[in-house]
Structure 1
């Protein structure tokens, strides 16, 4: 059995468990950020869950790197996996791979391309919006002159940022908060472009089929 088949089998078997681990990571991070009066023992438990989930991500990355046999080229060709290893909050982005793995395992047909893009973009927006709100709120709510005092403020800011509206009533003031904001702006533009472009392409295909099916005029 060659390395490529080993890598494929590893990915198929670990994708769903690792996605569950990513949700555990996100939940533990949310509890640590939002539960200000959490007892020390529970905070330590959340911290252990964070490190445990990240350790699983690191082991998965190392195993797939080893099985690929690509050495440094693996980092370039698997840039999303590398980014997720550095920023585990982005791990839910791999929900696309999870869906593909589940469908292959059960032998079920996949959604149409346009539907997949819209569904994936919608789910990614929700997950990234929540993760980004947590990250920015953690940096901002105790900063001097901060306008983001509650998690609700952070969610409102994330919605305005992702939609590219940018009201400006709530803005990050810390350097790390602004860096996170830049990333969310770029992601928001990419997701919005993917959805609008896919929807426009779908409309063109629908109208094209209607024209093809229309009987010629006499």
Structure 2
């Protein structure tokens, strides 16, 4: 597994931790405080590593002010719940600013965002006729639950269509659900391949330009500096 894939897995993991932390806002359970503290410590470690690896500490602070705010333990300083909630949300925003970028890039790949939008709309809309025509499904919530498990091909079997129309809707949901899973897998693969190709092409261009270093203009040198800084920044984030 290459560094790009490891970095992507790490970013997903950190984003999930942030979501878990924010979910504790509405759960009044003292035992969850320890889990929240562990999440906070992991985030502090991540910010600390990024801070000390940055060449200009002041530039890092200016570009990532939410990071600095998010690692301050306001939960302990402010005992009022509303303040704790605000700063937990800040923590989520700070972490998402780092770790959600690859996810948004993948969603924009190969038109995946359109497929996600269409499939989600189909799930909500198809639940309406299922609720109206299926005798065993008595609420829209049950119909929506059935639509979701059918589209995701989980199929628990607790609810199933008995009418022909319901079964046709089920087939339609399964087709688009399987298609969405396939497109998601393909988009993830495309993201890694294109990211690697982009890096390799940039390195090849830099090498080509350095071969004619005696002919480079000031503008060419400035362009190379920008590209090198970009590559260095990307490597530091892995």
Bin of the TM-score, shorter chain as denominator length: 0.3 to 0.5
How high is the TM-score relative to the length of structure 1?
0.41
Which protein shows a greater Rg? 2
How high is the TM-score relative to the length of structure 2?
0.38
Determine which structure has greater relative contact order: mean sequence separation of CA pairs < 8 Å that are 6+ residues apart, divided by chain length: 2
